[in-house]
Structure 1
Amino acid sequence: MLSKAISMQSLWAKGSISKVRLFVNVTQKPGLGGKLLKNRFSTSTQLPARGARVRSKATTSIPGKLTAISVGQASLAGASLLGIGGLCFYGLGFSSEVGAIDKAAVWPQYVRQRIRDTYLYFGGSLLATAGSALAIARNPTLMSIVSRNGIVSMVVTIGAMIGTSMLCRSIEYKPGFGPKQMAWLLHTAVIGAVIAPLTVLGGPLMIRAAWYTAGVVAGLSTVAVCAPSDKFLNMGGPLAAGLGVVFVSSIGSAFFPPTGALGLSLYSIAIYGGLILFGGFLLYDTQRIIKHAESMPHPAYTMRPFDPVNASMSIYMDAVNIFIRILMIMANGNRRK
């Protein structure tokens, strides 16, 4: 059974760049005679089976030269070292500049409440998405629906992703459970449905990928909080440019299979480059959330309240993209064993 879908989502927030994220994933479903289950979500590309086979072929056909995958892995390793270095530098207080963690002691209660609510919705989004994906994976009928192939399926997926996102963002936030929260849960359920076909990779692998993602998100969030409060807010332009590159690579990988130099390069950029990119987005979005919570007037002096649901959606999308790429890289590693 073949299934293909591409999902795009635009995230808008005052004072931030507009982010358009295209997600193209391909995984191989066991027990289908080697057929590929084409999935979606995250700015990625063709997943493990093709990547592993092509990597092996490319490595043996170009002896002594760096392959696109090797370059991607080296870039990711370098970015990881920078992240660890940043965590040590800012986390141990070596920076002389004031960070958000230093300001937290003097934050008014309403600023603390805004940030706390944002991360509560962030955690709730992840739980709701995981629950939706698991429920669909356990229902053969629903799994068949979300794994369908074709243009119609692609259009419906794009419409559902963008539509539920826009609906959620357009509703005014009010504390408690109301229309805003219902639209939020609907959006996370749609994303869970998009992710559900990836469960064919197996529960243990997905759990490991989730733990690794939690470590990456926690580490990068710590760097963003400990760093000077505007350190990463100037990254909007480069991140937007990088997103365009990963976007084009994801589109190109759908037309150029990774059996040649071009296809393999696009595959590497979309997976490894995308992982680095969304790590950068997480740093940017974390500081943007804090800045917005600090700069927005006191609730008594503003007509529109702070919206923790909308604020959480950017880091939520970053985390999901990071998870998908880590999962694909791990799946590739398993296939080489």
Structure 2
Amino acid sequence: MLLARLAHIATGRSAKLLCKAPFNCAQGLWKSTLQAPKCKFPLRKPNRVLLQPKQRRNYSEEHGNRERSHLEQRTKTPTIKERLMAPPSENAYSMGKGAAAGAALMGIVALCYYGLGLANQPSIYDHSVMWPQYVRDRIHATYAYFGASCAVTAASAASVFQSEAMLNLIMRSGWMATLITMGLVMGTGALTQSLDYEPGLGMKQLAWAVHCAVMGAVIAPMCFMGGPVLVRALLYTTGIVGALSTVAACAPSERFLAIGGPLAIGLGVVFAASIANMWLPTTTAIGASLASLSLYGGLILFSGFLLYDTQRIVKAAESYPEHGYVRYDPINNALAIYMDALNIFIRIAIILSSGEQRKKK
């Protein structure tokens, strides 16, 4: 490069600086040098490209335009609001998926650890050997009501889905329909838990059946996802509930009772994200983040609640006296794990349905 540039300069300045003076000239080489401008070989001007005034103006204008465009790009940096309301990226749910995968891995490790009896403290399974018969009957009644709750909910969802009038009533949009739906769910649940439990068929059993039927009607539109998706979601939910119940039974009897406070805080966060997602659609970055938090965060949260509620049920069954003034309530305890399992099922079904839609695209 350096040699090429020197050759270019030498070519531009290759004019003869001296003319050929006659050898008989007495004035010598110095004088001939002074007289060089008078020779017939004039000096050659350097090969320079001079910018015309118009070209200089164009260059200055172009340079100014570049500076202005660069300044505009710097001043037009997206604001926080523009970033939050921008379309979501392709990996909007990656963090949620990673968190769910990490929680699943922790569950498998806990299942292996407690299942092999590596904990130093006695587990619920160890205590079950010394349970009196009434404690066993309480736990059996709790899980019987849990199974019956799932059956009533499934039957109600199928019946509402088959009725076009009921389905249109459930699928109505608007604030009034949302408030009525939430009022029915919360009202029937509160009524069921407020009534005293009595063995046999009574008001509490009737309120419990109505509450489960209302829950089935609310989730009836999920039948549009298709039978294969719902069957897979049911199988996955059964596996998760069974595995977590085994972890809770093999763990020390009060190990997961200490996580009630963090779970309550997490429930508030997930509930707030679900409510905010009603105003912010998933087509925006913040809407997709809230949907991911509600979906995958809720899946992790209710899995933790299942561990907590399982050990709480066993603790309550052991603590209440056999002939005490306050009876052990299997319906209220069954509703706790029923709501955990139902929330897990809903989120797994949504995840599977979203995966099927992406495959079709």
| TM-score normalised per structure 1 | 0.79
Counterpart position of 2:329:
307
Q: Deviations over 1:56-105 (max 9, x none)?
A: 9612xxxxxxx331111011000000001111111122222111111001
Aligned to 1:49: none
Counterpart residue number, 2:243: 219
Larger Rg computed on CA atoms: 2
Which residue of 264, 268, 271 corresponds with 2:295? 271
**Match of residue 96 from structure 2:** 72
Q: RMSD between aligned alpha carbons?
A: 1.4
Letter paired with 1:325: R
Determine if contact 2:274/2:294 at 8 Å carries over to the other structure. yes
Within 2, Cα distance between the matches of 1:252 and 1:305? 40
Within a 5 Å distance, the mapping from 1:161-310 to structure 2 comes to: 161-298=185-322, 300=323, 302-310=324-332
Query: Matched residues in 2 for 1:118 and 1:217: separation?
Result: 15
- Alignment counterpart, residue 340 of structure 2, candidates 306, 318, 334: 318
Query: Using the alignment, how far apart are the partners of 2:284 and 2:153 within structure 1?
Result: 36
Alpha-carbon distance in structure 2 between the residues aligned to 1:57 and 1:194: 29
User: Aligned to 2:183, which of 153, 159, 163?
Assistant: 159
User: Structure 1, residues 274-308: CA drift from partner, whole Å, max 9, x if none?
Assistant: 1000000000011000101111112x2x1121110
More strand by share: 1
Give the distance between the partners of 2:88 and 2:291, measured in 1 at CA.
14
Q: 1:259, CA displacement in angstroms? A: 2.5
- 1:1-16 mapped onto 2 (5 Å cutoff): none
Give the TM-score, by structure 2 length.
Answer: 0.74
> Structure 2 unaligned runs (5+)?
1-86
CA distance in 2, matches of 1:263, 1:162: 26
The one-letter amino acid paired with 1:321 is N
Post-superposition offset of 1:258: 2.1
Shift of 1:264: 1.5
130, 136, 144: which one aligns with 1:120: 144
Farther off after superposition, 160-169 or 270-279: 160-169
Identify the range of structure 1 (158-167 vs 264-273) with the bigger mean alpha-carbon deviation: 158-167
4+ aligned runs moved over 6 Å, structure 1: none
Structure 1 residue 241: Cα displacement: 1.2
Residue 36 (structure 1) aligns with: none
Aligned length in residues: 274
Please state which structure has a larger fraction of its residues in helix: 2
- How many angstroms apart in 2 are the aligned matches of 1:57 and 1:303? 57
Identity across matched positions, percent: 51
TM-superposition CA deviations, 1:119-151 (whole Å, max 9, x none): 000010000000000011111111111111122
Query: Which residue of structure 1 lines up, in the alignment, with residue 62 of structure 2?
Result: none
Residue 89 of structure 2 corresponds to: 58
Inter-partner Cα distance in structure 2 for 1:197 and 1:273 = 23
